[in-house]
Amino acid sequence: MRAEPVLYDCHMHTPMCGHAIGEPDEYAAVAEARGLKGIVITCHYPLPSDWRRPRMTEEQLPEYIALVGRTREKWRGRLDVRLGLECEYAPVLESWLERQLARIEPDYLLASIHPIQRYQELYWTDDPCAAHRVYYEHLGAAAETGHFDAIAHFDFIKFMVRAEWDPGHFRHDIQRALDRIAAAGLTVELNTAGLRNRLKETYPSFWILKEMKKREIPVALASDAHQPEHVAWAFEKALDTLAKAGYTHVSFFLERRRQEIAIEQARASLT
Ligand SMILES: [Zn+2]
Ligand SMILES: [Zn+2]
């Protein structure tokens, strides 16, 4: 007999951000087939126009909330569909962010930094090492805003590989960011999108996961799906990795409150 569904995938997108494909319905169908109990849809929140990125517009936010609401109703009793948002963090975005967040009552708020062009213009100099440091400094600052439940793809910057960016060089910056995240009580995701790109490695890297465990930072599983087939991507492998790092439980958020389940139980529930 199949084990009871218990696990949530806490990070996925909708076509409203302009760079993901598939309707939420299709993501839900994959989640059900994989044995998940639920999904948290966390599309990218609107950005000011000078950030020049494909995102939903400020005017579209109510449409996004309605889209997730309709999916939630349709799947009620089969799969628990929840409303979340992935928020781009940068110090200059704080008041903008507060305005957006006043318009939504989500189950889950993720903070992430994609060092996109506008971010680079604002914060990067010619020194690539300084770029790396400011990224981790900003992740710590994001945790301390008090707005977020979790940090998305913690070491995303490693994807923008440069020869100078051996993470060992930034061990201290990474540890300081984790200290701030732990002190602020945030969760960090184990994001399997990294396994789909050329690095073939989760965000964060294994040594960072062990640093997180030392600080007892909870972990949420995240596929960061930008198409339906990505839902619950490599979750078996992610749960094994988590156990290897010393974790016994995995977390997710409902109504902004962290829930946790045993890794073994989560593992047995996947199909
Ligand atoms: Zn995206
Ligand atoms: Zn994402």
Q: What is the pLDDT of residue 161?
A: 64
Q: How confident is the model at residue 128 (pLDDT cuts 50, 70, 90)?
A: confident
CA of 14 to the centre of ligand 2 (A): 10
Distances (CA, A) of 205 to 104, 108, 185, 195, 210: 32, 23, 21, 11, 9
Q: Which ligand is nearest to the CA of 11?
A: 2
Does position 164 have pLDDT exceeding 70, yes or no?
Answer: no
Q: What average pLDDT does the segment 87-102 reach?
A: 94
CA of 114 to the centre of ligand 2 (A): 10
Q: How confident is the model at residue 55 (pLDDT cuts 50, 70, 90)?
A: confident
Count CB-CB contacts under 10 A for residue 21.
11
CA of 124 to the centre of ligand 2 (A): 22
Q: What is the pLDDT of residue 1?
A: 58
Q: What average pLDDT does the segment 203-208 reach?
A: 95
CA of 220 to the centre of ligand 2 (A): 13
Measured CA to CA, the distance from residue 17 to residue 81 in angstroms comes to: 18
Q: How confident is the model at residue 93 (pLDDT cuts 50, 70, 90)?
A: very high
CA of 164 to the centre of ligand 2 (A): 26
Each residue of 60-72: pLDDT tens digit?
A: 999 999 999 999 9
Does position 205 have pLDDT exceeding 70, yes or no?
Answer: yes
Each residue of 18-34: pLDDT tens digit?
A: 899 999 999 999 999 99
Q: How confident is the model at residue 170 (pLDDT cuts 50, 70, 90)?
A: confident
Instruction: Identify which of 101, 108, 124 has the alpha carbon closest to the alpha carbon of residue 68.
Output: 108
CA of 152 to the centre of ligand 1 (A): 11
CA of 150 to the centre of ligand 2 (A): 12
Terminal alpha carbon distance of the chain: 11
CA of 188 to the centre of ligand 2 (A): 13
CA of 55 to the centre of ligand 1 (A): 9
Give 219's strand partners: 188
CA of 17 to the centre of ligand 1 (A): 7
Does position 97 have pLDDT exceeding 80, yes or no?
Answer: yes
Q: How confident is the model at residue 163 (pLDDT cuts 50, 70, 90)?
A: low
Q: What is the pLDDT of residue 125?
A: 87
Least confident of 2-11, 75-84, 126-135, 243-252: 126-135
Mean pLDDT of the chain: 94
Q: Residues of 34-44 as b/e, b for ≥16 C-beta within 10 angstroms?
A: bbbbbbbbbbb
Measured CA to CA, the distance from residue 40 to residue 43 in angstroms comes to: 9
Instruction: Identify which of 109, 31, 40, 105 has the alpha carbon closest to the alpha carbon of residue 270.
Output: 31
CATH 3.20.20.140 fits 8-269, yes or no: yes
Measured CA to CA, the distance from residue 178 to residue 44 in angstroms comes to: 23
Measured CA to CA, the distance from residue 213 to residue 24 in angstroms comes to: 33
CA of 264 to the centre of ligand 1 (A): 30
Measured CA to CA, the distance from residue 222 to residue 193 in angstroms comes to: 8
CA of 77 to the centre of ligand 2 (A): 26
Q: What is the pLDDT of residue 116?
A: 87
Does position 168 have pLDDT exceeding 90, yes or no?
Answer: no
Percentage of the chain modeled with pLDDT above 70: 97
Q: What is the pLDDT of residue 24?
A: 97
Measured CA to CA, the distance from residue 269 to residue 236 in angstroms comes to: 10
Q: Which residues contact 76 (CB under 8 A, 6 or more apart)?
A: none
CA of 103 to the centre of ligand 2 (A): 20
Q: How confident is the model at residue 203 (pLDDT cuts 50, 70, 90)?
A: very high
Q: What is the pLDDT of residue 165?
A: 65
CA of 196 to the centre of ligand 1 (A): 14
Q: Which ligand is nearest to the CA of 21?
A: 1
CA of 193 to the centre of ligand 2 (A): 9
Q: Which residue has the higher pLDDT, 165 or 221?
A: 221
